[in-house]
Each structure stands twice: as structure tokens, then as C-alpha cells.
Amino acid sequence: MKSNLSNRVRGRVLAHALLAGCALSPLTIASAHARPDAATPVGAPRAPGAITGTVSQAGSGEYLDGASVSIPALDLSTVVDRTGRFSLVGVPAGTHELVIRYVGFPDARRTVTVADSQVTLDVAMTTEVGAGAGEGPRSSSPARARSRNPKPQHSRSSVPAPRSSRSSPRISIGRLPDQNVAQAVSRLPGVGVQRDQGQARYITLRGAPINWTTLSIDGINVVSPEGRDARFDSIPSAIASQIIVRKAVTPDMTGETIAGNVDIITRSAFDYPGMKVQAKGGLGHVELGKKTEYEGSLVVSDRIDTGIGEFGIVSSASLYRRGMVTDNFETDFEAVKEDKRPGYQTRNWARETENKLYRLTRKNYSLSTRLDWRPASGHKLFAETIYSAFQDDEQRNNYIFDLDDQQSRAPTGSAACNVNARPASGTTGYADICTGNTPLLGTVYGVDLNANFTVRKYKQSVFTNTVGGDHELGEWKVAWRGNFTRSIDDRTQPAQLNYESPSFTNATNRLTVGYDLTDPQLAKVQLFRTIRNADGTFSRGAHVTAIEDFPTSLTRLRSLKAQDVTEAYTAKLDISREASLFGAQTVFTAGVRYDDRTKTANEDLLDINSAAQFAAAGISTNYSAIAKPGGFQGEIPLGYTFQYFDRDKVLGLVDQAKSVASYQPVDANFYEVGERVYSAYAMATTTTNWGSIVGGARVEHIRNDARAFSIDAATSVATPVEAKSNQTLVYPSLHLNWDVNDRMKARLSFNTGAARPDYDQLRPNLTYNDANLTVSGGNPDAKPEKAKGVDAYVEYYTMPRGFLSIGAYYKDVTNVLFDSVQTFGSTILNSGNTDRSQYQFSTVLNGGKGYIMGIEGAIQQQLDRSPPISACRTGWAASASSSTRRSTRAARIRPARAISRRGRCRCPVHRTRSTI
């Protein structure tokens, strides 16, 4: 069944928001031209003088985003924005010394004389200690922009995009082999990644579950193709200007953030001083499997000054492709009820052990374009479109040695026994210590071989489109955004073929498996012929190396078309105003936001599984019909040889199957979950001479409506099911920041958040089986996991190029979601004379309480006077770039309970903006 909710009003709300934003634009532009004195301060009178300008790097002209500009004698300061600009207003007439600081550069000092008008100062910083590079001040028109105090607001770290200068102090995304966002972010302290086939995929912050980390692009939360578990391998790092990781949750962030947020800041033409062309290419050889990988990216940007303002346009494209051969082993253990001999309480037997042998090609690619327009000072409009995708073309040979195939035949005696290598008549030796077998070492006789051969063609894509504007209206600042995002998780599996051994009655054509699981790094198997003795017992026959020597027959052929589509509409408006509160500078910020998301999952399956169907379609049931000559391309010691399958031959069998069967919708896996979130927040940032305070609260009202089917497993009859729910949540937070001195800062944060259940968990589908007395399905009544947390950090900066930070965190969690089996307890599935309320129900439920806690730290220190390029967690790292050579050393403390696995040295970022 394919469906879309027809009664949704998402488009109407978004259209109203966008019309309001567009209507605001000409009004704000007119206001900007009509009010040159728009920067008149609130509260105490402020001096009329102003200093504005840019901060860049000498030689390259690249902007130094985040540099601080201050007049220490007046306690006035601000920071440079991503376009290189800064503004200090309220500067009294006279001569003043400005101090400009940026990590990796010596302090730059400039003397400026201010009268009653604006002075422009452009500073070009250099890495040479004592150098006086930079342009002097020059007169200009009165300033409109207000000064900003750079006191940090919340903990965050950022990974900058590549810069052209050889002496850049940043770790640049483009200069490191980071093909996706997860790999780039993994270089920050307190960040772990989960990998698939060696490639970074999920991000976990501070050891928390992956669904506690949210993903956003330019401040707009994006629903991953998989749902709440944000996948970052579908987003190439090439689209990013910066990647900012926020770990402390503030009211202007969505309430579904618990561990933190990863915000991808895309490129703008105003990030560069003029025309910019940047290209990158790479080629590599993968030794395992003798495969090739290559990558390339191109960024073109330019700025055009016209009579109606300045325009900027930037476009980028990227591609990363690699061929791979990977292999693994997996072993599943179980407690066996038939094993009752002494010591059974501590024995868990290997139910099965298997090998998955992959040949695959993976691609990451993206296209993006952004148009910016500055019609007047203090006003900017933009439109942006981004398409990014991750594609996985995979062929998998999967051999499963079904050790517990005849578990029901295992002896059930409970007395101690003497060891006899030959198992009892009619048994296989599984879970039988009387044969000398142990859970990790032994032999089982006449068991089944499940051989599965799969062709998969996965593709995950994100298509996001945003329009917005930022406006300064005197004392007010207004920002508005409208966004439409379509995320697609295409799980198509063109073919899966299942082959099995003959039945147990023909055990001599089955495998005898010698297993050795004593090495946790390698499960070893040896394959033998099976001998049936005259008394019905089994013995081990000749050793067999080629697994195809054991006869198997095709038992099932399937082809799956599966696609999950998430459409999300977002409209948001943020307003801020600076004022004086109890004599302290305070910025009041408030905003509203509307999110409308719908996820629809559809599956269609072609399935044939009988000898009659195979014969009618002319499909051979022997593996030789699809085998491909050639040896094993991997390196794991298998204990046997095999032949890969030919992809084209397998897909040819699927085409033959279409002559006797067709694709049918899988109603049991269909669901459609809609989510509407109405949110508002208010917060205040108060700056004092000792630090700052950030506090406020966010309110979210959430409405869910969902549709699916209840399925009778015996008859496959599908009955529509609908469910609705709503709730209101409040998220307060408070952040205290103490400037101990110029180089040391202490931070204390109290915050709240909630991780809402994923869409597939909220589905209302139910499948019941009267034979087994079971029900399974989703839970539309599942509640969010709620968290209350506290963070405490101390940071110390060593000039010019080092920092040390250490901190601790604790989060208390309620309504923890977990998989459960319990009594169904509902009569909604009762029909006729059948009461299903007492069936065993498998679903996801909210449980009790839990917590996560840990410590994290980072240290970075430049060991020579040249600028850093990379640092590794252990040992030394050196790298050369043109005429400069740099080396650093760094160490970090990883968070407690971290769930990432790292197999190589990690490099921290050399520009870490902690802005609690």
C-alpha cells in the first residue's frame, strides 16, 4: 500500500511563514536606508564613536572567523563574523589601543583615534611574532551595526573548512581524508563514531546513544533518511564551511536534543573576499581486493556588487567512490534448555557461526548552490539548495553453519557422564558435553548449511532547500527561515537467494563441522563428510575444503523494493534585542518554530519458494548456475574455499521469476507517521565584568498521527489501524560562565531535553499469530526519553597556540525506551470467539530511570613556532605544506561509557571555539 496523508496542512503554515518573511524584507530594507542612526543604544547613553572593519590573514586575504577584537581599557569587545567583519560602537572620542587575537597568531595591536564618526580598520594578521602587518584606520560613514560582546554562550567545537594559506592555524576539512561529516567531526574531543565496513557512519557525543545527537544544516534540523538515528555518511564533508558541535543545550535549540547537536554550516560567497575557485582530487589503491578509490570536489564562488546591493553565489560538487572487499565472522550464543548436565548454569552454546563475505562499491556525492543578497548594510537574504547522497552497491556471500539445527535431539540427561566422542544415536553432538564438546570447542555432525547470496543497492539521500533572511532594525535583530527537506532511505534489495542442505534424514549429504571459537578475534571451522554408522550414530568423514562439494538446493528467491520517504517542512522566526538589565548588558531573544514531518515506509516483495515455481520459471536450483570462477579476494582464514556468485546471473534469475510471480505490497511493514511540532522559546544572555549568564526555556507541543495495519499471520488479512497522540513539554536551561582571567574560563550548565521515539517505534502496526499466541508491533503511545543534566568545565588557553580543557557531565534519564515482551492486555484484536488480550506482546516500551556520566578533556600545545597542521592522540605527527613544516602533540581523555571503536590515530581541531 502506498499512501500520503491528504489532510495535512503543512504547506499552508509554511507558506504563511515564508510570505511573512518575504514581506518583511522590503520593509527592513527601507528602514535601513531611512534610519542611519538605527544603532542608538538602549539604556545608558553611549558614545557616538565607532570602529568597524575586517580581520584577515596576511598574504591570502582569508577571513579569520571568530577572531576577537577588543579595547581592554574600555572593556569593549566583539568577534569577527564568517565574512571577516567586526563592529565596535559606543567608543568615546580619543586614542585607543585595539587588541586582535586569533588562535595560532601572535596578538595584533593597533592604535586608533576616534572622533565623532566611524573609523574603519582593516587588519591583516601574520604568524610572525612582532610583525606589524595591517592597514591603518580610515574615515567612513556613521555605523549602523551594534557592538557584540564575545562572551561565550555554550560549549561548542568547530571544524573549519579549508583555507588556502599555507600558514593557516586551522585543521581544514579539505586537507584531511574526511569524505563525510562523521569522519571530520570524529577529530573533536568527546566525539565518537560508529563505523560500517570501516567507514564512519553515526556520531555519538559523550558516549550517549546515537539518537540523542541531532543533525542540522545552517541551524535547520534535518531528519536523517533513517529517522532519529542521524546518519552522517550520507553527507559529504565537501559541502561544509564549518561543522559546529554543540554539547550544552540552550533554549534556541530543538527540545529533541539531549547529548548535543551537529550543525553543518554551508559555504557562502561572502565567506571569501572575492572570486574563489577551489578544486581537490585524490586517487588511491585498496590493497585488500585490489580495488581503486578516487575522489574529487570543486567549489566556485564569486561576489558581484550592483546598484541594488551585493550578490554572492557559490556552487559546489563532490564525488567519492571506492571499491571494497570485506569479510567477517559472527557467532551467536544461546542457553540451551536441553543441556541439563552439571554446570549447565554457566554454559552458553554457539547457536550458529557464519561468515559474511562482501564485494561492494560505495559512493558519496553532492551538489549545492547558494545565492546571497545584501541589499543594504545589516540586511541579508539567501536561498540555498543541497542534494547529497550515499550509495552502497553490495554483493554478499553469506555462509551460516547452523550448529543448533537439531537442538531438539540433544540428550536431556542431568547426571554426570563419561566422555564418548561419538554422540548418542540420532543426535548431532550439539550442546552435549558427553561427547567432549564445550561451548567453544568441539564437533557437531550432520548439520545444515544455510547459504544466502544477496544483491543490495542501498541509497540514502537528503534534498534540502532553505530560504531566509537576517535583518538589523535599530535595536532589534530579526532572522527568519523556511525549509523543505526530503530524505529518502532506499533499501532496495534486487535479489536474495537462499540455499539449504538436504533434510536430516539424508544426513550423509550434510556437513560435519569442527568448530574452534577459543580465539575471540577469529572463529575457526573445519568441514568434514558425515558418516552414518549402522547403529544410527554419526562419525566424522574426510576433510572437505570446497564448500560447494556439499549439495545444497535453492529454497527461496526474493526481490525487495523498499523505500522510506520523510518529508519535512520547517518555518522559524527569531527576534533579539539588546538592553540594559540591572546595569549589565543583556540580549533578549525569543522565537517561534513550526515543524511538520511525515515518514512513509513502503515495501513490495517478489517471493517464490517452491520447486513447482522454480520449474515453471525455468530456474536451476543448483548453485553452479550462478557461480563465478575465481578465488577468495579477502584475507580472513575461512577454513574452506568457495566461489563468488555472478551478479548478472542472479538478476537474470529474478527476471525469470517475474514470469510466475509479481511484486506484492508488504502490508505488515507499511506505516505512515506524521509529526507536527509547535515550539516557542525565550532566553536572555547577560554579560557582566566577571562572565555571563544564559538562561531561558523552550516549550514544545507535539502532535502525532499514524497509520498502519494489523495482520493475521495465519491468513495474511490486513486491517487498517490509526492512532493519534499529543503532548506538551517544557525545557528550561541555565548556563553560568566565569572568566577567571584572560586565559581561564569556568563553565557550569544545567539543561534539559528529550529524545522522542523514532518513527518506526511509533507505528501502530500489529501482527498476531494464533498458533504461537503472540503479537508484535510498534507502540504509538511511546513517550520521549527525558533528560536532566549538569555540565562543569574549565578551559585554559596558552598563547599563542594551545589550550587545555577538562570537564565532567551527568544526565539523569527517565522513560528509557527498551525492547520488551509482556502481556498484550488489550481487546482491540479480539474477533469471533478468540481472546488475544493475553498473548505475548513484543514491542518497545518506556521503562524506569537511568543515567549517563563521564569526564572528557583535551590538550593541545604547539611545540615550535610554526603553525600547526595536525595532532594525534598518541605519539607524534608531522606534515609538510609547501615551504612550511609543522608538528604537534596532543592527548585527550575519552568520555566514560563511550561506544565508539577507533582503529587509528585521531586528530583534534586546532581552532576549538568554546563559547559556553
- pLDDT tens-place string over residues 85-110: 888 877 888 899 999 988 778 888 99
579-583, 809-813, 897-901: least confidently modelled range: 897-901
What local confidence, expressed as pLDDT, does residue 157 receive? 57
The Cα–Cα gap between 503 and 680 comes to 64
What local confidence, expressed as pLDDT, does residue 176 receive? 57
What local confidence, expressed as pLDDT, does residue 501 receive? 95
The Cα–Cα gap between 165 and 163 comes to 6
**Which residues lie across from 458 on neighbouring strands?**
392
Q: Give the residue carrying C-alpha cell 518506556.
A: 846
Residues 6+ apart with CB under 8 A from 388: 234, 235, 236, 239, 364, 365, 366, 367, 368, 461, 462
- Say which residue, 317 or 831, is predicted with more confidence: 317
The three cell numbers locating residue 317: 560538487
Q: Is pLDDT of 338 > 90? A: yes
What local confidence, expressed as pLDDT, does residue 906 receive? 31
44-53, 336-345, 675-684: least confidently modelled range: 44-53
pLDDT average, residue stretch 613-637: 93
What local confidence, expressed as pLDDT, does residue 28 receive? 37
Secondary structure, 3-state, 105-137? CCCEEEEEEECCCEEEEEEEECCCCCCCCCCCE
What local confidence, expressed as pLDDT, does residue 155 receive? 56
Pairing label, strands 538-544, 276-286: unpaired
Q: Is pLDDT of 756 > 50? A: yes
pLDDT average, residue stretch 206-226: 88
The Cα–Cα gap between 428 and 537 comes to 8
- Say which residue, 488 or 7, is predicted with more confidence: 488
pLDDT average, residue stretch 43-71: 77
What local confidence, expressed as pLDDT, does residue 373 receive? 96
Confidence of residue 786 (pLDDT cuts 50, 70, 90): very high
Span between the terminal Cα atoms of the chain, in Å: 49
pLDDT average, residue stretch 588-598: 96
At residue 18, the 3 state secondary structure works out as: helix
Secondary structure E strands in 474-583: 476-490, 493-500, 511-516, 524-532, 538-544, 553-581
Confidence of residue 910 (pLDDT cuts 50, 70, 90): very low
- pLDDT tens-place string over residues 235-277: 887 788 888 888 888 999 988 888 888 998 888 999 888 899 9
Q: Is pLDDT of 312 > 80? A: yes
pLDDT average, residue stretch 315-324: 92
- Say which residue, 526 or 889, is predicted with more confidence: 526
The Cα–Cα gap between 561 and 491 comes to 7
Confidence of residue 714 (pLDDT cuts 50, 70, 90): confident
Q: Provide the residue count of the chain.
A: 916
The three cell numbers locating residue 652: 537474470
What local confidence, expressed as pLDDT, does residue 48 receive? 64
345-349, 556-560, 658-662, 742-746: least confidently modelled range: 742-746
What local confidence, expressed as pLDDT, does residue 241 receive? 82
What local confidence, expressed as pLDDT, does residue 234 receive? 79
pLDDT average, residue stretch 376-380: 90
What local confidence, expressed as pLDDT, does residue 346 receive? 92
The Cα–Cα gap between 853 and 628 comes to 52
- Whether residue 844 contacts residue 817, with contact meaning beta carbons closer than 8 Å, is answered with yes
pLDDT > 90: percent of the chain: 50
Confidence of residue 913 (pLDDT cuts 50, 70, 90): very low
Q: Is pLDDT of 11 > 60? A: no
What local confidence, expressed as pLDDT, does residue 237 receive? 79
What local confidence, expressed as pLDDT, does residue 127 receive? 74
Confidence of residue 72 (pLDDT cuts 50, 70, 90): confident
- Say which residue, 344 or 168, is predicted with more confidence: 344
The three cell numbers locating residue 113: 583615534
What local confidence, expressed as pLDDT, does residue 830 receive? 86
pLDDT average, residue stretch 359-365: 92
C-alpha distances in angstroms, 217 versus 255, 266, 467, 481?
A: 17, 7, 12, 12
Confidence of residue 154 (pLDDT cuts 50, 70, 90): low
The Cα–Cα gap between 302 and 312 comes to 6
pLDDT average, residue stretch 739-766: 90
Confidence of residue 147 (pLDDT cuts 50, 70, 90): very low
120-129, 415-424, 814-823: least confidently modelled range: 120-129
- Is 46 buried (19+), middle (13-18) or exposed (0-12) by CB count in 10 A? middle
What local confidence, expressed as pLDDT, does residue 862 receive? 67
pLDDT > 70: percent of the chain: 83
Q: Is pLDDT of 378 > 90? A: no
Q: Is pLDDT of 803 > 90? A: no
Q: Is pLDDT of 826 > 50? A: yes
At residue 385, the 3 state secondary structure works out as: strand
Q: Is pLDDT of 19 > 60? A: no
Residue type, 269: A
- Whether residue 678 contacts residue 729, with contact meaning beta carbons closer than 8 Å, is answered with no
The Cα–Cα gap between 274 and 277 comes to 10
pLDDT average, residue stretch 492-501: 96
- pTM of the full structure: 0.79
What local confidence, expressed as pLDDT, does residue 599 receive? 96
Confidence of residue 200 (pLDDT cuts 50, 70, 90): confident
476-480, 484-488, 797-801, 852-856: least confidently modelled range: 797-801
- pLDDT tens-place string over residues 637-675: 999 999 999 999 999 999 999 999 999 999 999 999 999
The Cα–Cα gap between 577 and 884 comes to 46
Average pLDDT, the chain: 82
What local confidence, expressed as pLDDT, does residue 866 receive? 47
155-159, 521-525, 784-788: least confidently modelled range: 155-159
Residues 6+ apart with CB under 8 A from 872: 889, 890, 905, 906, 907
